């Protein structure tokens, strides 16, 4: 009505408003007034406006046949509708005209078919039209057409509150057999938790018993189930198509054309965010442990929670976007099966804020069950036969753990058992990935739980496994250290791993665990390098690890310095590959920086963290060896790490054996020395590398070497 009044106003009150204006706006701009007047005049004379006025004013019972005025006006409206679309006011007028049947049912259908909105659709005329449906004079087919139209333009309706307010009224039309599918769809779009009532469920079930299993009833009921699982029990066949059939055909193409022309992108998506999981069960497994449970709302509501049910909760299933999640984060209801959280990325966001101890326990029970059944009990072949599925499952688990930056306890517990039966190749990247996520293990148990099985695997597996394990242990150490550096700041260096049980981890406990791990890797690396003939790839992973170790104090604030064992130091020092030697030099340099800063801090704060003299001694020793060997050409001197008897060295017939590992003669750098020699003395025929050792060329040579990107060497012993 309001729209109609608005429209009719210009003609009715044209003169009066004009006089009003002339009275009130005497001082106003005259030309503006003229323009305004002109516009109004044009508008009044605009045939389209006149046509609308005709439809809003035409009296009931006006004949249609032979009514030229009606015909021209309607053709005009149709033309505008198909070209530009109708404005909200026009829709309002035309819908009112059509549904009131002022000129019978014929024009009604014709008008409905051309109701193509240009922008939005106001909800009031729709509410009125629904009321007209109730009057009952409109033929069923026309009613269907109307509901279809509402469904088509549903997303363009400006507000839905009034439509929701008449939910019950709309619901009453479900009994009309032909309308039912469309009404169900409309109800589906309008349903809120409060609209799900026992009597409505009963009505739908009654209808179902009359009509048989109809997808539209099922869809509506399944939505009811989402809101109130305690009211309706339903199993959705896996074959069922998701969503309602597309009812919007008559308008769809015209609507798209109009929208395109108007350049507006009002996405009319009547496709529903339907929650039925599309089970594409290509493989049929009898027991599939690895299938994530479907996200569904809680059925087993506790009586005591009814008290708090006045506080509205929102089932997680109902949320479709991150914005919705944020909006409802204080009142989200956990799903019936916690495992289902892993299946949805949105739910995963929420998992991060879950405070409920029991909920996490539920998740862990499920996860533990799935992992055990699949990888340890393998009731039906397990992972060995379903590796594709297992792979996806573990990838999902890894993704989740990385997302949460924390491991699940059940996966940790599982790993301890699995390591002892693992062949080292099944799903290696995933298992190693999970392994690198495990939290700090108390040093009393770390040996039995981790080291023993890992040692067996390490020594019996290929080079690539060895490298993989090194990387995994490096990541593990990194995570432990990061964890420490974050939480050590929060409190006085006392880390309690946990509260419930006796495993409280003090700083010294944590240090012990880290030390155990570093020593363990040292042992593995020493023997591994020997076994694999100091393979460069393995050496590179080992050096990665020590790059983490050498910086524990400065980077992670852990007052702990552990030197590499000789089995790692010497292979790196004598490596054939200049990069390894350079990295070793870098590591030694970082050790130096860490140790000096620890020492100075010790002096300043006089705090009793103590780095043992033994560590300093080891470091000094290594540094002396390295510098003597590479820079000072002073190899095999008594008191150094590598000692050989004088007579053995003489027997080897190597001239000037003490120089054979300096930066000139070291096999890794020999090519640089040769290159340098050629550049330095281009004319010389006979090559005498020893001539590089003279003080001037030596400093040039070092400069040359450092300019090749060997920053580690450069940092260790800066150029003179």
Partner 1 sequence: MERQHNSVVRTPLNSVVVQRRSKSKSYRQSYRSCLGAASRLGLTPALTARRLNTSRRAPKSHNITDKVDPEQLTLLLKTEWKLSYVTPLYQFRHTQLKSYSRQLSAFIAAEKQQGLAVDAEGSQSSFRVSFSVVQGMTETADDAETVLIQIHSKPMFAKQDDPQKLVWSGWLACINGNPDYLSSLSKDFICLPLFGSSGPEVLTTLVKSWFQQMFDCCFGPLEISHTSLQWLVALWTNCHTESNIQHLRMIWTLPVTPPLQITYTVDAQDAWELWSSVRKDPEEESEGGEEVEEGGSIDLKEVMRFMQGLKNHFYRHFRLDLSAGSLQQVSTALGSAKYSGRIKVSSDGKNCSQSFSQDTFLLTHTRKDKCCTNIFFLSF
Under a CB-based contact definition with an 8 Å cutoff, are residues 391 and 435 in contact?
Answer: no
Q: How far apart are CA 572 and CA 652, in angstroms?
A: 23
Candidate residues 27, 265, 310, 355; the one interacting with partner 1 per rule CB under 8 A? 355
Only one of the segments 129-137, 155-163, 330-338, 576-584 lies at the binding site for partner 1 (rule: CB under 8 A); that segment is 330-338
Candidate residues 67, 119, 324, 337; the one interacting with partner 1 per rule CB under 8 A? 337
Candidate residues 120, 205, 348, 455; the one interacting with partner 1 per rule CB under 8 A? 205
487 Cβ contact partners less than 8 Å away, ≥ 6 residues apart: 495
Candidate residues 333, 389, 395, 406; the one interacting with partner 1 per rule CB under 8 A? 406
**Residues of span 288-327 touching partner 1 by CB under 8 A:** 293, 296, 299-300, 302
Q: How far apart are CA 459 and CA 524, in angstroms?
A: 8
Under a CB-based contact definition with an 8 Å cutoff, are residues 480 and 518 in contact?
Answer: no
Candidate residues 93, 151, 179, 338; the one interacting with partner 1 per rule CB under 8 A? 338
Closest separation in Å from C-beta 326 to partner 1: 17
Cβ nearer to partner 1, comparing 204 with 529: 204
Q: Is 605 exposed, middle or buried (0-12, 13-18, 19+ CB in 10 A)?
A: exposed
Q: Is 538 exposed, middle or buried (0-12, 13-18, 19+ CB in 10 A)?
A: buried
Asked if 350 is part of the footprint of partner 1 (rule: CB under 8 A), the reply reads: no
The site that binds partner 1 (CB under 8 A) totals a number of residues, namely: 80
Cβ nearer to partner 1, comparing 138 with 450: 450
Which residue is it, tokens 């022309």? 261
Asked if 407 is part of the footprint of partner 1 (rule: CB under 8 A), the reply reads: yes
Q: How far apart are CA 425 and CA 457, in angstroms?
A: 10
Map residues 590-609 to x or -, x wherever contact with partner 1 holds by CB under 8 A: --------------------
Cβ nearer to partner 1, comparing 416 with 681: 416
Closest separation in Å from C-beta 562 to partner 1: 24
Closest separation in Å from C-beta 160 to partner 1: 26
For residue 663, the 8-state DSSP code is T
Only one of the segments 5-13, 70-78, 141-149, 363-371 lies at the binding site for partner 1 (rule: CB under 8 A); that segment is 363-371
Cβ nearer to partner 1, comparing 495 with 635: 495
User: Torsion angle, CA of 283/286/290/296, rounded to 10 degrees?
Assistant: 90
The alpha carbon dihedral of 672, 676, 679, 685 has a sign of negative
Closest separation in Å from C-beta 337 to partner 1: 5
Q: How far apart are CA 480 and CA 436, in angstroms?
A: 10
How remote is the C-alpha of 518 from its chain's centroid? 33
Candidate residues 20, 230, 388, 675; the one interacting with partner 1 per rule CB under 8 A? 230
The alpha carbon dihedral of 542, 548, 550, 552 has a sign of negative
Candidate residues 235, 280, 605, 643; the one interacting with partner 1 per rule CB under 8 A? 235
Closest separation in Å from C-beta 236 to partner 1: 7
Map residues 486-515 to x or -, x wherever contact with partner 1 holds by CB under 8 A: xx--xx--xxxxxxxxxx------------
Under a CB-based contact definition with an 8 Å cutoff, are residues 295 and 276 in contact?
Answer: no
Under a CB-based contact definition with an 8 Å cutoff, are residues 543 and 584 in contact?
Answer: yes
Which residue is it, tokens 């916690």? 338
Candidate residues 439, 565, 641, 667; the one interacting with partner 1 per rule CB under 8 A? 439
Closest separation in Å from C-beta 378 to partner 1: 11
Candidate residues 191, 364, 540, 580; the one interacting with partner 1 per rule CB under 8 A? 364
Closest separation in Å from C-beta 376 to partner 1: 9
384 Cβ contact partners less than 8 Å away, ≥ 6 residues apart: 378, 426
**Residues of span 467-486 touching partner 1 by CB under 8 A:** 483, 486
Closest separation in Å from C-beta 431 to partner 1: 18
**Residues of span 93-152 touching partner 1 by CB under 8 A:** none
Map residues 365-394 to x or -, x wherever contact with partner 1 holds by CB under 8 A: xx-xxxxxx---x-x---------------
Asked if 284 is part of the footprint of partner 1 (rule: CB under 8 A), the reply reads: no
For residue 534, the 8-state DSSP code is S
Q: How far apart are CA 11 and CA 633, in angstroms?
A: 108
Q: Is 288 exposed, middle or buried (0-12, 13-18, 19+ CB in 10 A)?
A: middle
Cβ nearer to partner 1, comparing 129 with 316: 316
Cβ nearer to partner 1, comparing 218 with 435: 218
Only one of the segments 34-42, 205-213, 458-466, 634-642 lies at the binding site for partner 1 (rule: CB under 8 A); that segment is 205-213
Under a CB-based contact definition with an 8 Å cutoff, are residues 74 and 112 in contact?
Answer: no
Cβ nearer to partner 1, comparing 354 with 593: 354
Cβ nearer to partner 1, comparing 134 with 379: 379
**Residues of span 154-173 touching partner 1 by CB under 8 A:** none
Under a CB-based contact definition with an 8 Å cutoff, are residues 124 and 156 in contact?
Answer: no
For residue 155, the 8-state DSSP code is G
**Residues of span 409-428 touching partner 1 by CB under 8 A:** 409-410, 412-414, 416-417
Closest separation in Å from C-beta 401 to partner 1: 9
Instruction: Please list, residue by residue across 563-581, b when 16 or more beta carbons sit within 10 angstroms of its beta carbon and e when fewer do.
Output: bbbbbbbbbbbbbeebbbb
68 Cβ contact partners less than 8 Å away, ≥ 6 residues apart: none
Q: How far apart are CA 133 and CA 152, in angstroms?
A: 18
Cβ nearer to partner 1, comparing 408 with 553: 408
Tell me the pairing of strands 314-315 and 332-333.
parallel
Instruction: Please list, residue by residue across 612-643, b when 16 or more beta carbons sit within 10 angstroms of its beta carbon and e when fewer do.
Output: eeebeebbebbbbbbebbbeebbbbeeeeeee
Asked if 352 is part of the footprint of partner 1 (rule: CB under 8 A), the reply reads: yes
Cβ nearer to partner 1, comparing 220 with 713: 220
Paired tokens of 713: 């060497």
Closest separation in Å from C-beta 229 to partner 1: 8
Q: How many residues does the chain have?
A: 720
Paired tokens of 354: 């879950």
Asked if 435 is part of the footprint of partner 1 (rule: CB under 8 A), the reply reads: no
Cβ nearer to partner 1, comparing 410 with 580: 410
Map residues 541-580 to x or -, x wherever contact with partner 1 holds by CB under 8 A: ----------------------------------------
Candidate residues 185, 200, 362, 666; the one interacting with partner 1 per rule CB under 8 A? 362
């Amino acid at each position: 009505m309001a729209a109609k009044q608005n429209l009719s106003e210009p003609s009715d009150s044209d003169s009066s408003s004009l006089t009003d204006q002339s009275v009130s706006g005497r001082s106003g701009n005259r030309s503006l007034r003229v323009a305004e007047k002109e516009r109004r005049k044009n508008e009044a004379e605009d045939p389209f406006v006149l046509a609308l006025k005709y439809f809003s004013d035409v009296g009931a019972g006006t004949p249609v046949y032979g009514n030229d005025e009606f015909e021209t006006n309607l053709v005009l409206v149709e033309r505008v509708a198909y070209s530009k679309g109708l404005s909200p006011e026009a829709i309002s007028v035309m819908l009112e005209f059509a549904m009131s049947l002022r000129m019978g049912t014929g024009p009604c259908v014709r008008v409905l078919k051309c109701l193509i909105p240009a922008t939005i659709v106001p909800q009031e005329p729709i509410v009125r039209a629904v009321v007209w449906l109730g009057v009952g004079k409109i033929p069923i087919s026309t009613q269907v057409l109307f509901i279809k139209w509402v469904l088509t333009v549903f997303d363009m309706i400006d507000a839905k509150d009034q439509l929701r307010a008449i939910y019950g009224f709309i619901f009453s039309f479900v009994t009309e057999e032909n309308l039912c599918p469309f009404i169900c769809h409309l109800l589906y779009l309008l349903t809120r938790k409060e609209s799900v009532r026992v009597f409505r469920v009963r009505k739908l079930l009654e209808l179902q018993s009359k009509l048989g299993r109809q997808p539209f009833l099922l869809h509506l009921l399944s939505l009811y189930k989402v809101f109130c699982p305690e009211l309706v029990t339903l199993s959705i066949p896996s074959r069922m198509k998701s969503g309602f059939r597309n009812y919007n055909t008559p308008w769809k193409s015209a609507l798209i054309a109009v929208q395109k022309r108007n350049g507006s992108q009002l996405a009319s998506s009547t496709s529903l965010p339907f929650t039925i999981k599309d089970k594409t069960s290509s493989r049929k497994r009898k027991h599939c442990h690895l299938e994530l449970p479907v996200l569904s709302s809680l059925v087993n509501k506790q009586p005591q929670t009814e008290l708090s049910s006045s506080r509205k909760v929102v089932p997680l299933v109902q949320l479709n976007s991150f914005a919705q999640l944020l909006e409802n984060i204080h009142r989200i209801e956990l799903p019936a099966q916690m495992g289902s959280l892993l299946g949805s990325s949105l739910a995963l966001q929420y998992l991060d804020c879950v405070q409920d101890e029991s909920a996490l326990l539920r998740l862990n029970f499920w996860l533990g069950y799935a992992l055990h059944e699949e990888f340890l009990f393998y009731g039906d072949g397990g992972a060995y036969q379903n590796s594709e599925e297992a792979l996806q499952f573990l990838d999902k688990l890894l993704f989740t753990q990385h997302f949460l930056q924390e491991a699940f306890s059940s996966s940790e517990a599982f790993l301890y058992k699995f390591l002892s039966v693992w062949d080292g190749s099944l799903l290696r990247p995933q298992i190693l990935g999970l392994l690198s996520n495990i939290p700090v293990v108390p040093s009393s148990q770390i040996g039995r739980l981790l080291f023993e099985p890992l040692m067996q695997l390490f020594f019996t597996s290929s080079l690539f496994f060895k490298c993989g394990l090194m990387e995994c242990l490096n990541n593990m150490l990194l995570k432990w250290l990061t964890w420490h550096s974050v939480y050590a700041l929060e409190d006085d260096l006392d880390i309690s791993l946990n509260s419930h049980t006796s495993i409280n981890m003090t700083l010294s406990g944590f240090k012990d665990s880290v030390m155990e791990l570093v020593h363990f890797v040292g042992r593995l690396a020493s023997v591994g390098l020997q076994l694999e003939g100091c393979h460069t790839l393995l050496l590179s992973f080992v050096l990665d690890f020590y790059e983490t170790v050498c910086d524990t104090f400065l980077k992670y604030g852990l007052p702990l310095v552990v030197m590499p064992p000789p089995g790692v130091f010497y292979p790196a020092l004598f490596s054939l590959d200049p990069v390894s030697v350079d990295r070793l030099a870098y590591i030694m340099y970082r050790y130096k920086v860490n140790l000096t800063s620890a020492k100075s801090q010790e002096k300043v704060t006089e705090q009793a963290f103590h780095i043992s003299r033994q560590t300093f001694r080891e470091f000094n020793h290594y540094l002396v060896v390295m510098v003597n060997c590479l820079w000072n050409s002073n190899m095999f001197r008594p008191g150094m790490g590598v000692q050989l008897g004088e007579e053995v060295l003489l027997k080897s017939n190597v001239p000037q054996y003490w120089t054979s590992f300096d930066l000139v003669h070291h096999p890794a750098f020999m090519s640089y020395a040769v290159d340098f020699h050629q550049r330095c003395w281009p004319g010389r025929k006979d090559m005498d590398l020893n001539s590089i050792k003279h003080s001037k060329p030596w400093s040039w040579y070092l400069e040359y070497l450092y300019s090749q990107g060997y920053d580690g060497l450069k940092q260790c012993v800066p150029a003179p």
